[in-house]
Amino acid sequence: MADKITSLDVARRAGVSQSAVSRVFTPGASASKATIAKVRRAAEELGYRPNPLARAMITGKSRIIGLVVSYLDNQFYPIALERLSNVLQARGYHILIFMVPQDMENIGQVVQEMLDYRVDGIITASVAMSSDLTARCEAEGIPIVMFNRRQDGLNQSSVTSANVEGGRRVAEFLLAGGHRNIATIAGWEGSSTGRDRLRGFSEGLAAAGAAPLAVIDGKYDRDEAAGATRALMARDDPPDAIFVGNDHMAFSVLDTLRHELGLRVPEDVSVVGYDDVPLAAWAAYDLTTVRQPVNRMIEATVETILAQIDDPARPPQKIEIDGPLILRGSARIPEGWKQ
């Protein structure tokens, strides 16, 4: 086997110092255009590839962000992950994705693997972190930002949409449309997003002297949402509107109402979702939904994690970003309602 090509070999071929080679392959470091050209030409000729883990051991920085996710069925997350990766890459970072089950059974092992990879920071998406795991990361000097999730009792940075306000806006919209039997198929009660959207929705109804006809935990699951829809429409007093905790479940609700139960949407029952994934705008669904401002959420997440990497003493940030209710054809639109 041929000897491994090192940065010293590249430096000799390019006629520059070894530190110059390091600067060329370190994102954000300065080097002249002439030096960059010479070093990259020499590296290509020799077949040299920098080892980011070895560089991390020397510099203490891997330029890698660990991303923990557990729920990719929801179309919101693949979109968010792609944009997150693009924004981080533009800032000289890369993401290393770790999947964990919804029950979080192996999250401790996953966190340890991320620490072994010497990640500079951790972003969790649709994942909760226990206090002991958070403490372990803090002891290692690894900042954490929770994306689209917050956690009560933990002094930890988070970036979410304004879920309580979004739920409240849906309640006001449906009441203004003349609906009186309003049910909700809520997001998983174990998630802050599900609880906050339900809370805002319930508070919005209560402000008008109303209450949900029924609340069913859809667990962010397509089959659970379909079963909940059947149960609601089999009642003696079926709902005339359903607020669904995310678009992924709302698509299942619409399919069940239209193609299994033979009901008209919105003539027989209005449906409102939450997220505004691209599929919501397709003519097959035409879903009225609360838009999660994903681009602004991604920018805020990246700014927060990089700021905490640069300044470990920076206090945690709790960021909520409001998003509009997007009106389409799945819900009756009140006369004079302004989007």
- CATH number (domain holding residue 131): 3.40.50.2300
Does a structural domain hold residue 167?
yes
pLDDT tens, residue by residue, 53-107: 555 555 557 788 999 887 788 889 999 999 999 999 998 898 888 887 665 566 7
User: Are 253 and 138 members of one domain?
Assistant: no
pLDDT for 127: 72
User: Are 114 and 206 members of one domain?
Assistant: no
Alpha-carbon span 332 to 334, nearest angstrom:
6
> What's the number of domains the chain is made of?
3
Q: What are phi and psi of 209, to 5 degrees?
A: 75, 20
pLDDT for 59: 55
Sheet holding 270-275, edge to edge: 215-217, 182-186, 241-244, 270-275, 288-291, 325-326
Alpha-carbon span 296 to 301, nearest angstrom:
9
User: Are 106 and 23 members of one domain?
Assistant: no
Q: What are phi and psi of 34, to 5 degrees?
A: -65, -40
Residue 190: other Cβ atoms inside 10 A? 14
User: Are 99 and 131 members of one domain?
Assistant: yes
Provide DSSP, 147-202.
ES---TT---EEEEE-HHHHHHHHHHHHHHTT--SEEEEEPPTTSHHHHHHHHHHH
User: Are 257 and 115 members of one domain?
Assistant: no
pTM of structure = 0.82
* End-of-domain residue from the set 292, 307, 329: 292
User: Are 308 and 282 members of one domain?
Assistant: no
Does a structural domain hold residue 44?
yes
In 25-75, alpha helices (H): 33-46, 52-59
Low-confidence ranges of the chain (pLDDT < 50): 1-2
Does a structural domain hold residue 155?
yes
65: left (phi over 0), alpha (psi -120 to 50) or beta: beta
Alpha-carbon span 274 to 128, nearest angstrom:
20
Query: Pairing between strand 182-186 and 215-217?
Result: parallel
User: Are 116 and 142 members of one domain?
Assistant: yes
What is the domain extent for residue 15?
7-50
